[in-house]
Amino acid sequence: MKATTLEGTEIDLSPDMLAGLKLQLQGPLLTPEDADYEASRRLWNAMIDRRPAMVVRCLGVADVMACVRFAREHELLLCIKGGGHNIAGLAVADGALMLDLSLMRGVWVDRERRVAHAQAGCVLGDVDRETQVHGLATVLGFISTTGIAGLTLGGGFGYLSRRWGYTTDNVLGMDVVTPDGSLVHASADKNADLFWGLCGGGGNFGVVTGFDYQLYPVGPEVVGGLVAWPASEAPAVLELYQRLAEQAPPELTLVALMRPAPPVPWLPKEYHGQPIVALLACYSGDPEEGELVVAPIKAFGQPIGDVMVRRPYAQMQKLLDATQPKGRRYYWKSEYLPGIEPALCDKAIEHAGRIRSPHSVVILFQLGGALNRHEDDHSAVGNRDARYVFNVGGAWESAADDAENIAWAREAWDDLKAFSTGGTYINFLTEDEGQERTEAALGPALQRLGEIKRRWDPDNRLRVNRNIAPG
């Protein structure tokens, strides 16, 4: 078998070498001839089509350690897949040894300490399912099929960020297999430099196999959902969004989105495929208070659809899943915003009117609150001045439509980036975005991250990522 080395050359791995690795594993080792290889290498974004030399479906930490040591011994390129949801496809590389952690999905909840330990192959829904048994939750993202590892290592934000900050702000510790194959624990008290770097610096320093998350009382019921209007109402709806967001309590997170109406039962058939504007809300505090807080949204104008109701928090976390199915082609452009300006709204409406696909969207996420209360160097994730995120989200079905959809996203971004803080969210960066965009995401943290990289991965063995060179 031929595999790719760290230097990009090919090496022959003999049957005896592979047999020796298999003897150290509990999980299966897959090659391109094996039936499960294709399913394991495939990612959420169908634009990414790379073929690792082999895939190990790890069942535990010992499997990860064995693979990291094998890769080190033979100077192999190594890549790591958690949920496989990263838009740039950082989980897979041609010719690499790929660690597929997606079978490691255990979650253990300590109700008294309000701590959850989750294995790195978990998706968000796994964690929500177990923590909500106890009426608890941590800060995660918006799509329940997203992997926790990539989300967390890139910072992470969601409906609870205005109350408790970035996902990384709520990580108490991580179990990490270092590039030499050792197992260490990283926290604010132990290997603190490694912990700081992992909280936003991605998978540059080790293979994280488990996370300890702080939990908070949330649910089991919240008030949340969407209200939609025809696109002709977008100026007034975005004005409402800005006004409500500026006075919103921390329990309320608001999202504005513009897209063609999907064929869902709660929207009239005559609007399916037509441009709409919608407000998405989640109030994670007392539901009675939440109903009062969202009442101005529900009463505004003449909505064409309204599913903003009391619902289980775990259901709220899945509400957008159908908009992000595995196997579509995705291309995004994104920036952090210091606020919402009328001129930005005008440009967002203009480019929403030029959407090329029934699945694409222009979206404004509300941040602010808890994440702004830390100093910028609290963790590597930085961008503590962010109050909103805009995302130009291209999504379509056929490779034949790549050019026009990518062009639409880039044109919209060219106009909207003028309103940016200068920072961007690293998890939203696409495959073609280079070092300058990594710098926009990590900013002043890069120098310190380079020093941490030099200590923990001086040979840059973990390079299939938003790579940080040893400083």
Amino acid identity of residue 50, one-letter, is: R
The pLDDT of residue 200 is: 96
458 and 450 in contact (C-beta within 8 Å)? no
d(CA 450, CA 470): 5
**Residue 17 corresponds to which tokens in the numbers above?**
């070498």
Assign 3-state DSSP to the chain and report helix, strand, coil percentages, each to 5: 35, 25, 40
Sorted by sequence, the CB contacts under 8 Å of residue 308 that are 6+ apart come out as 223, 224, 225, 226, 227, 281, 294, 297, 298
The pLDDT of residue 149 is: 98
446 and 453 in contact (C-beta within 8 Å)? no
Instruction: Give me the phi and psi of 2, to 5 degrees please.
Output: -95, 135
Question: Vertex 29, ends 24 and 35: CA angle to 5°?
Answer: 155
204 and 237 in contact (C-beta within 8 Å)? no
**Residue 329 corresponds to which tokens in the numbers above?**
């082609």
Closest by CA to 383, choosing from 157, 44, 219, 55, is 157
Sorted by sequence, the CB contacts under 8 Å of residue 73 that are 6+ apart come out as none
Query: Domains, the chain, ranges and CATH?
Result: 2-100 (3.30.43.10), 107-217 (3.30.465.10), 221-430 (3.40.462.20)
Residues 396-405: contacts with CB under 8 Å, at least 24 apart: 396/328, 396/329, 396/356, 396/357, 396/359, 396/360, 397/328, 397/329, 397/357, 397/359, 398/329, 399/329, 401/329, 401/356, 401/357, 402/47, 402/329, 402/331, 404/356, 405/329, 405/331, 405/356, 405/357, 405/360
The pLDDT of residue 88 is: 96
d(CA 107, CA 67): 23
d(CA 442, CA 80): 21
The pLDDT of residue 382 is: 87
Note the residue count of the chain: 471
The pLDDT of residue 471 is: 87
161 and 369 in contact (C-beta within 8 Å)? yes
The pLDDT of residue 169 is: 97
**Residue 81 corresponds to which tokens in the numbers above?**
């897949």
Q: What pLDDT tens digit does each residue of the chain (471 aa) get?
A: 999 999 999 999 999 999 999 999 999 999 999 999 999 999 999 999 999 999 999 999 999 999 999 999 999 999 999 999 999 999 999 999 999 999 999 999 999 999 999 999 999 999 999 999 999 999 999 999 999 999 999 999 999 999 999 999 999 999 999 999 999 999 999 999 999 999 999 999 999 999 999 999 999 999 999 999 999 999 999 999 999 999 999 999 999 999 999 999 999 999 999 999 999 999 999 999 999 999 999 999 999 999 999 999 999 999 999 999 999 999 999 999 999 999 999 999 999 999 999 999 999 999 999 999 998 889 999 899 999 999 999 999 999 999 999 999 999 999 999 999 999 999 999 999 988 999 999 999 999 999 999 999 999 999 999 999 998
Sorted by sequence, the CB contacts under 8 Å of residue 246 that are 6+ apart come out as none
d(CA 109, CA 122): 14
